[in-house]
C-alpha cells in the first residue's frame, strides 16, 4: 500500500516496526512444472542440488531482459526487497 503510493519512508518505518516486533513475512514461493512433476521454488532457497544451475539460468534471464529493454518497476516496492 505505501509502496504503491510511493511513500517509501513510511514503508521503511512499518518494516522496522515489524522487524522489532519479531514479525517475519513468509518467503515468496512458486510451483514450477519441471521434469517429472511440480516442484516448489522458494526465494533464497539454495539447498537443492540444482540451485546453482537455477540461479545461473535466472541471472542469464535477467541480463537478457535488461538488454532487451526491460526496466524494473518500483510501483510495488518489489525491487527494494531482493536483498532481504
pLDDT digits (tens, 9 = 90+) for 27-48: 889 898 878 888 888 888 889 8
User: pLDDT band at 81, cuts 50/70/90?
Assistant: very low
Model confidence at 80: pLDDT above 70: no
Instruction: List beta partners, residue 29.
Output: 42
CA angle at 79 for the pair 76 and 82, rounded to the nearest 5°: 125
DSSP calls for 6-73: T-HHHHHHHHHHHHHTT--PPPPEEEEEETTEEEEEETT---STTHHHHHHHHHHHHHHHHHTT----
pLDDT of 1 above 90: no
Give the model's confidence band at 74: pLDDT under 50 very low, under 70 low, under 90 confident, else very high.
Answer: low
pTM for this prediction: 0.50
Helix (H/G/I), strand (E/B), else coil: 27: coil
pLDDT value for 65: 93
Amino acid at each position: 500500500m505505501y509502496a504503491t503510493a510511493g511513500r517509501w519512508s513510511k514503508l521503511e518505518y512499518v518494516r522496522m516496526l515489524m522487524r522489532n516486533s519479531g514479525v517475519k513475512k513468509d518467503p515468496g514461493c512458486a510451483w514450477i512444472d519441471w521434469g517429472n512433476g511440480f516442484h516448489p521454488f522458494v526465494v533464497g532457497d539454495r539447498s537443492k542440488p540444482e540451485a546453482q544451475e537455477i540461479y545461473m539460468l535466472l541471472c542469464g534471464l535477467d541480463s537478457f531482459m535488461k538488454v532487451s529493454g526491460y526496466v524494473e518497476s518500483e510501483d510495488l516496492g518489489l525491487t527494494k526487497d531482493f536483498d532481504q
